[in-house]
Structure 1
Amino acid sequence: MTLPPTDHPARFLGRADAYAAARPGYPAALGAWLEETGLLSAGVADIGAGTGRFTALLLAGGARVAAVEPNPEMRAHLEASLDGAVRAGQLSVHAGTSEATGLPGGSAGLITAAQAAHWFDPARTVPEFRRVLRPGGLVLLVWNDWRAAETPFSRAYGEVVRAHTGDDPLRVRVLEDELPQHLPGGFERHIFTHDHPLTREGLRALATSVSYLPNQGDPAYPAIARALDAAFAAHERDGQVALAYQTQAFLGRLD
């Protein structure tokens, strides 16, 4: 069943611990590129910030960040893990959505959304982003995609996902022909690659962190756990597997 947009945050209730523990981070090359652009000096609004993985990258680059996240469990993780930045005044954390951020108008020179833009309604989000951005401000959409990396383990993981998903697992990013709806002023694409090492428990946690697979407590969970364990056993080296990711970053304008 497809949830209406207002219920999207509910899809991650009960998944915040797994999300924080097992989701991949972002490659150092992406952070270095952002620092080189100078965009991090303008004040950043990080929308759909989740547990703060991308927020942490922005902070490490020296950005002053307003992080917006609708899910209360994820927001609590973000605040706890980045408490030092909150206390230092480098980070503020807000309950809100892309369509209603709650941020002041003209308060950001850059808006970012990592692993989140596919949940946004562009017809309502673009006007809100225009309100929040200062003149000349930019939007950066980022996502990690394991499907773009062809390795033996990524194929094995993909087989497990396809066998057990009850939703469309491809909808974890904005499709390229839909990007102009989110970035109507045009955009440029940058691609980075990195590996995400996982233990057997980490692989299970990664699967339970995504909205389209059964969570613990779901009657379907034991079957996917067994399938993940089998894939892990077939590919592990020294107690780990590596899931390869392609990180795509789209930097664009709204006008």
Structure 2
Amino acid sequence: MTVPPADNPARFLGRADAYAAARPGYPAALGAWLEEAGLLSGGVADIGAGTGLFTALLLRAGARVAAVEPNPEMRAHLEASLDGAVRAGQLSVHAGTSEATGLPGGSAGLITAAQAAHWFDPARTVPEFRRVLRPGGRVLLVWNDWRAAQTPFNRAYGEVVRAHTGDDPLRVRVLEDELPQHLPGGFERHTFTHDHPLTREGLRALATSVSYLPNQGDPAYPAMARGLDAAFDAHERGGQVALAYQTQAFLGCLD
């Protein structure tokens, strides 16, 4: 899927509240691995930081982070939710894109992109990442993938999604055969798993946080909401369902 880079931030306008409220975080084991591997000591540039879900994991692991996000609504959520880290000098927040981060050259030992790299144009992003990284710096691409976990509720949720999108996998992650375009120096893969509990309202919010699903006010939204409610009713326990995720982390080099 090719999307003009200038259009990408606009795809999430009006979705920041739902994104912040309902998107899954990332497993603590991922942060522990980054810390134990010594990957955070040189400072981190978190690109396409959104509302700060992955930024928060980096901060909890002790990293000093420069978060870059082009969407003003998401950037405002990030700054508000992580205000303590901003005031403490552990976090700086910047308007920018993967192709033009606005960060100083040689300012990061690690660049991260969580749930964002599929929006990047690698031909323009890789030179910018090379500029921002210190010598020997590395790049980490991360995404949560519910499609990789085949639980009964995941399958039910997938049926609702496919009814509105065709379930194009390029919409949610970079395919592995395309990763060398983003990480031309080679990469290693790490996998983590976690569950994301959701109420009925949380499930609706999760769906509306996705750029390619109908948002509230869209004529297709009521039909999607009915499908989500039916899936929830069939699988809820104690007023919640759990969407299982497989978190893929690709750590690589640019040279």
TM-score of the pair, normalised by structure 1: 0.98
CA apart distance, 1:235: 0.2
Range 123-132 or range 30-39, more displaced? 30-39
Residues 165, 213 of structure 1: 8 Å contact kept: yes
Which 5+ residue runs of structure 2 have no aligned equivalent?
Answer: none
Partner deviation per Cα, 1:211-245 (whole Å, 9 max, x = no partner): 11000010110000000000000000000000000
Partner deviation per Cα, 1:20-46 (whole Å, 9 max, x = no partner): 000000011111101101111110000
CA apart distance, 1:164: 1.5
CA apart distance, 1:168: 3.0
Residues 118, 172 of structure 1: 8 Å contact kept: yes
Count of residues in correspondence between the two structures: 255
Residues 166, 213 of structure 1: 8 Å contact kept: no
CA apart distance, 1:5: 1.5
- Given the superposition, is the C-alpha separation of residues 6 and 167 from structure 1 closer, same or farther in structure 2, using an over 3 Å criterion? farther
Distance in 1, Cα, partners of 2:53 & 2:34: 15
Distance in 2, Cα, partners of 1:226 & 1:2: 31
For 2:41, what is the secondary structure of its paired residue?
Answer: helix
Superposed, 1:1-255 pairs within 5 Å as 3-165=3-165, 168-255=168-255
Range 170-179 or range 9-18, more displaced? 170-179
Residues 165, 214 of structure 1: 8 Å contact kept: no
Distance in 1, Cα, partners of 2:41 & 2:5: 32
Residues 3, 119 of structure 2: 8 Å contact kept: no
CA apart distance, 1:166: 6.9
Residues 161, 167 of structure 2: 8 Å contact kept: no
For 2:96, what is the secondary structure of its paired residue?
Answer: coil
Partner deviation per Cα, 1:140-192 (whole Å, 9 max, x = no partner): 00000000001000000000000122773542100000000000000000000
CA apart distance, 1:3: 4.4
Partner deviation per Cα, 1:89-132 (whole Å, 9 max, x = no partner): 00000000000000000000000000000000000000000000
Distance in 2, Cα, partners of 1:168 & 1:248: 18
Range 1-10 or range 58-67, more displaced? 1-10
Residues 107, 132 of structure 2: 8 Å contact kept: yes
For 1:136, what is the secondary structure of its paired residue?
Answer: strand
- Given the superposition, is the C-alpha separation of residues 167 and 211 from structure 1 closer, same or farther in structure 2, using an over 3 Å criterion? farther
Distance in 2, Cα, partners of 1:83 & 1:142: 24
Residues 51, 78 of structure 1: 8 Å contact kept: yes
Which 5+ residue runs of structure 1 have no aligned equivalent?
Answer: none
Distance in 1, Cα, partners of 2:223 & 2:142: 32
Distance in 1, Cα, partners of 2:187 & 2:244: 25
Distance in 2, Cα, partners of 1:69 & 1:145: 21
Distance in 2, Cα, partners of 1:98 & 1:3: 14
